Amino acid sequence: MTIAVLDSGIHADHPHLAGATVLAGCSFSSESDDAIDRIGHGTAVAAAIHEKAPNARLIPVKLFHRHLTTNAEVLAQAIEWSAAAGADLINLSLGTANTAHRERLVAAARAAAESRVLVVAPRETEGVMLLPGSLDGVLGVLADAQCGRDELELRLEHGGVCATASIFPRPIGDLPRERNLSGISFAVANVCGFIARALESGVSVTSLAG
């Protein structure tokens, strides 16, 4: 499996990515012309995926450089680029509640689906629906702090399939998990890792999206 990680880039030499295959990536950040992670978020997301699917190849697709902010057009372009670059899965640990961007993100999600690429993204947060994670053809993710890190729940939600997973990434030594990073970003990464492992076993991508 090849997974595009749309985030702050990937620091391929991080010890949590030991043994991972990190391919050449692309930067969509106006502040950077490389896909190297400078803030750590994308690397932590990639490590969570790698823990679940150690054989997957990772493509760093940089949306953020120093701050976790981007815009819908950049996001849509990154999705389309990732689908054309040979990704099987697109891990997107972010979303927007601004429906003004709906049609552009619908087009990007459709382009991915037509290339048989599954986008995995947050479906909602604090009861607010997010784009593109709530769109048809995208596997939306819900976060659950009580969910075990080795658990994945798939269920029908508003006529489509959504996934629920833990908000915690891989542990860091003896550090209590409450002091580690956490949040829906890592629920998405955990789901993406689980799904990659399932696809390696022959599960159809089309059976996983709404």
Predicted pLDDT of residue 150: 85
Cα separation of 198 and 6, whole Å? 21
Instruction: Give, in order, the Cα–Cα distances in Å from 16 to each of 4, 101, 147, 183.
Output: 18, 35, 22, 19
Domain range for 179 is: 2-207
User: Which region, left, alpha or beta, applies to residue 77 given φ > 0 means left and ψ of -120 to 50 means alpha?
Assistant: alpha
pLDDT per position as a tens digit, 22-62: 999 999 998 999 999 999 999 999 999 999 999 999 999 99
Predicted pLDDT of residue 42: 95
CA-CA-CA-CA dihedral for 194, 192, 98, 159, to nearest 10: -40
Nearest CA to 105 out of 75, 62, 140 is that of 75
CA neighbours closer than 13 Å in the CB half-sphere of residue 182: 17
Task: List the Cα angle 29/3/184 in 5-degree steps.
Answer: 75
The structure tokens listed for 151 are: 């658990």
Predicted pLDDT of residue 179: 56
Domain of 76: which CATH number?
3.40.50.200
Instruction: Give, in order, the Cα–Cα distances in Å from 18 to each of 14, 21, 40.
Output: 7, 9, 16
Predicted pLDDT of residue 24: 96
Predicted pLDDT of residue 157: 72
Cα separation of 64 and 9, whole Å? 7
164 DSSP 8-state letter: E
Q: How many domains does the chain have?
A: 1
Predicted pLDDT of residue 34: 95
Q: Please list the rounded mean pLDDT of every run of 10 residues in the chain (210 residues).
A: 97 95 96 94 95 96 89 96 97 94 97 96 91 94 89 78 86 62 89 93 62
Predicted pLDDT of residue 58: 98
Predicted pLDDT of residue 49: 97
